[in-house]
Chain A
Amino acid sequence: MGTDILQYTISGLTIGVIYAMVALGYNIIYNVTEIINFAQGEFVMLGGLFAAFFIGVLRLPIVVGFFGAVLATGLVGLVMERFVIRRAKNASVLSLIIITIALSILLKGGAMIWWGKDPHSVPAFSAGGPILVAGAAIQTQAFWVVGVSALIVIGLTVFFHRSTYGKAMLACADNPNAARMVGIPVRRMVLLSFVLSAGIGAAAGVIITPISMMEFDRGALLGLKGFGAAALGGLGSFFGALVAGAILGLAESFCAGYVSSGYKDAVALVLLLLALFFKPEGLFGSGEAAKLKRF
């Protein structure tokens, strides 16, 4: 019994970290542009599949494959912003939603044509069987998931709060016109936010693929659950995303263990709806600030 709980907690936290990473991707773009990118989940899918291609097919070392997948997906994010989102600058919210949904369909369809419909995998980053802790088996990859994510979160925090570039990006969200007036290249910041967001999504995709494999149509659900984490944690809040991601992951894992594995995907979505309905500013967001948002 106790072992079960520990086991579910560990697998819940592992997947929760992934949701948190997706949520970070939403937050970065949202913080700079106030756009919700409905194609966010596809970045995770692309990351996993690019890694499978680089590592599994081209036989590149794992480190090279990891960064290759992150760069390739970042490039997708760049193309997306430069050639589509930028053109839609004056579009209404409704159009923007449709545009990012259209992009997500294109990425999903493209991935299906390129990689086929079968799931692909990537070998675990380090060899060796699962480690037994108090009867619960922990896959070594779970440590990689948590470790890499922790590095990314620390890196992002430093970037946004210490570097000039990061601060400039945040300024764009608060007031694009004022940011432009003080000489911040707003366009470049928006572009950067898409690249960064795509890269982080891809990193999440690469580290989770050894555990759960990856196929072309995984993006939508990952994106929705990631948005659940972002909304529950308060849109724009990095810390909130982490905590909420963990909550969603744990809820899902315990539901799969004790209630029904078929409904595990529904749990995060029900939490998403509850968050949106009853606390749209999230657990850690400010209600006052939420009222001032444009969308």
Chain B
Amino acid sequence: MNRREWLGFLCAALFIGVFPWVVVPFKAVSHYVDVMVFAGIFSLVSLGLSMLMGFAGQISMAQAAFFGIGAYTSGILTSRFGWNPVPAMPIGMLASAAVAWLIGIPALRLKGHYLAMATLGFGVIVHIVLGEEVAWTGGPSGMSDIPRLRFGDVRITGEIAWYYIVWVTVFIGLVFCFHILRSRVGRALRAIHEEETAAESMGVPTARYKLQVFVLSAVFAALAGSFYTHYVTCLNPGSFNLMWSIRFVLMVMVGGMQSLWGAIVGTVLLTFVGNEWLQVFADFEIVIYGAILLVVALFLPGGLMSLAGRWTSAGSRTVAAPDDGGS
């Protein structure tokens, strides 16, 4: 990372670090810590999806499925087999990676509309399985009494503890992603996004890189799913349906697909919108989501970060083209 990025990183870390201490004393907003825990969990999903959509140019409408695979693996191992959550989490990530790898090999040969439909179909299948395998998943009514995260004898129950654990993980994930983008792989991904055929003819193993990023995004989603499980301590398939996959895409798009910061900003914003500010609209919520998605796709394809970039002319990262030109 260069100095600019370090500066941005420090500012963000400072903001995240003091946030709870600013909001907790005020009764009306003290529960924002809880909202931010969810925002952090969802940010992990968006980070992975941003790598896939924004940098490799491949769409996935199945992130909720990978989120669900992580969540249910964690939930089943801990509540049915008495595992400690800590070793259960990497198992969930492995399971998700394995599934993503199996699906990804044939799916990533597809492009554009076909890839979107294939991932959409896969996501719906996972959702059906979660609802049908009652013996394992509890079916439509789900599971409850899943243990909280536990390190040794210390059970993590407090919101603030959760807040820091989740957000530190987000920052580690962010640094990890920045490093990938800086590397040879990152340049290759951008080349794939710009013009896949050209990249291939330059000797970039496009299929392998696309698959790796797809698996990476699934691992991030599964990690988030595990956190989610142990934070809310109950699960039902409704949290992993198509609408959630669409929400994850929306989070990435609102912030700006080609910026990892954008993914986090979009996620925090939409989590507040969904968990807090839209509650008053009840049934209108879904219409408002559709409207935001439409407006962003039509008028702001670069997301909020592109607006910031226009104002400061330096806010966007090193990506050349602001539009998402590829297929």
Contact = CB atoms under 8 A, between A and B. Distances in A.
Give the secondary structure class of B's interface. Answer: helix
A95 B59 CA distance: 10
Give the secondary structure class of A's interface. Answer: helix
B124 A224 contact: yes
A40 to B, nearest CB: 11
Best-buried of B109, B113, B286, B301 by chain A (most CB within 10 Å)? B113
Given A88-B298, A295-B111, A113 B284 contact: yes
Nearest to A216: B286
Nearest to A261: B132
A97 B287 contact: no
A112 B286 contact: yes
- Interface size class of chain B, counting residues whose CB lies under 8 Å from the partner chain: 35 or more
Contact of B128 (A36, A220, A266): A266
A93 B287 contact: no
B288 to A, nearest CB: 8
B129 interface: yes
Contacts of A276: 106-107, 110, 114, 117-118, 121
A292 interface: no
A222 to B, nearest CB: 12
B244 to A, nearest CB: 12
A93 B298 contact: no
Contacts of A265: 124, 128
A88 B324 CA distance: 13
Interface in B289-310: 289-291, 293-294, 296-298, 301
A79 interface: no
Nearest to B253: A98
Given A88-B298, A227-B117, A273-B118, A101 B131 contact: no
Interface string A215-231: 00000110010011001
A163 interface: no
A228 B120 CA distance: 11
Contact of A94 (B124, B128, B283, B324): B324
Contacts of B296: 98
A273 B242 CA distance: 16
Nearest to A277: B106
Interface string A253-295: 0000000101101100110110011101000000000000001
Interface of A: 35-36, 38, 84, 87-88, 91-95, 97-99, 101-106, 108-110, 112-113, 220-221, 224, 227-228, 231, 260, 262-263, 265-266, 269-270, 272-273, 276-278, 280, 295
8 contacts: A91-B297, A97-B113, A103-B290, A224-B120, A231-B117, A269-B121, A272-B121, A273-B125
